[in-house]
Structure 1
Amino acid sequence: MVARLPSIDLLRVLTVIVIVWRHTWPVPKGEPQMLLATITVPFFFFLTGWLWRTGKRTIRDETKMRWLTLGRPYVTWLALIFIEFAASTIKGDITRDTIETLIRPLLGGSYAGRPFSTFWFISALFFVAIMMRAVEKLPRPHLVALAVLLAGVGALLGQKLDRIPLSIGLAIPCLAFAVAGYLLRQWAASREHPWRGRRRVRAVFRRVGVAARVA
């Protein structure tokens, strides 16, 4: 198994900072800035897959843990910011536009504008983690096919997925990057032990030879 490097964790933290900056303040004009803003989210979820650890945790356990680490802070900060947001939004008569403005942050995802624009990222990570736990034990060929399929769905149906509340739809292409990172880490781990596969092949041939002699 590839050792977990502190530099990778630091890189992931820096990626989160860039994502928050991108969704909190306008991105400066210029190709380098736009390129950085475009690749940070896929790169973060790629690192999420790279750092993923398989284990005995069930989907239910994963959901409980992610609720404590992501869901509860999401709801808490949403409530705190929403109180101030609602107070500044409701002025005079409550119109249909006012109600729609108040509902959009509760829907999350792309519906929530500033100051809720960074919240989509938390809910997307919540659902990606749960889905990763569900697919982590699939054979590698199946995971490769799944990553390609999810990336294709994201490319073809990106706008429709964007309309699903709480970033559930956006979690689908994000999962593709997480699975890609997970697969690359597995490949890197196998490269650390190049003789492991050869030893297995030799063991199989030995068993076949013994069976032939007995026959």
Structure 2
Amino acid sequence: MKLDRRSVLAGTAATFAGPVLFATAARADAKRQSLVDQCLRAAQKVLSGKDFPDALRNMGNAKGALIIPELVQGGFILGAAGGRGVLLARSKPNDWSYPAFYNMGSGSIGLQIGGKVSEIVFIILTEKGLNAILDKKFKFGAQAGVTMVAVGAGIEGATTAATGADIVAYSNSAGLFAGASLEGSYIDADDDWNALYYGPGATGRSIVIDRRYTNPGAEPLRQFLAKW
């Protein structure tokens, strides 16, 4: 029997392409899982540390939490920042959603010295604050009616005086950016990463509010937050 040359070539290509595509997908998923794992470590460090004595009290009232394991800040006078993290929502005590991926960035002008801000945990205290992040590209300082308080590690007392605040941000810093205002920073859903981690159609709201998607890789993070 004479074999068609094109069929043979197509079959050979498929044989080699299969493992390549599988390996590429595995690496991509590992990248997202690595970020989820980093967010768990960041939450453990901030919420279990001694720098923020009121963080645990605020967690008891939290509607959600946005965790950025590393926000890199650079520049002198002119600053720019970038980072990626996850958002989770709580519908009732000890019941947290799966995490949705979010990007954070900013461009700012002010008296800043480049450094690295690590382990930022935003505790979202009101439905208004949670919906403001979910509904659109959220910009601190520009979102009408949403109040945010930022606290850096090492500040004397490290209390937020957060009465009436919608969002409280706690940040451990490894540079002179410690405690600096996050005004002008934005947060936006990364639905490309959401779809790759959960499946087609996954969005911030469908993950954390509608709870249409799950991924076992996020269970350790959910279990840690379930303490509150």
TM-score interval w.r.t. the shorter chain? Answer: under 0.3
Quick check: which has more Rg, 1 or 2? 1
TM-score by length of 2: 0.24
* Structure of greater relative contact order (alpha carbons < 8 Å, 6+ residues apart): 1
Q: Give the structure with the larger strand fraction.
A: 2
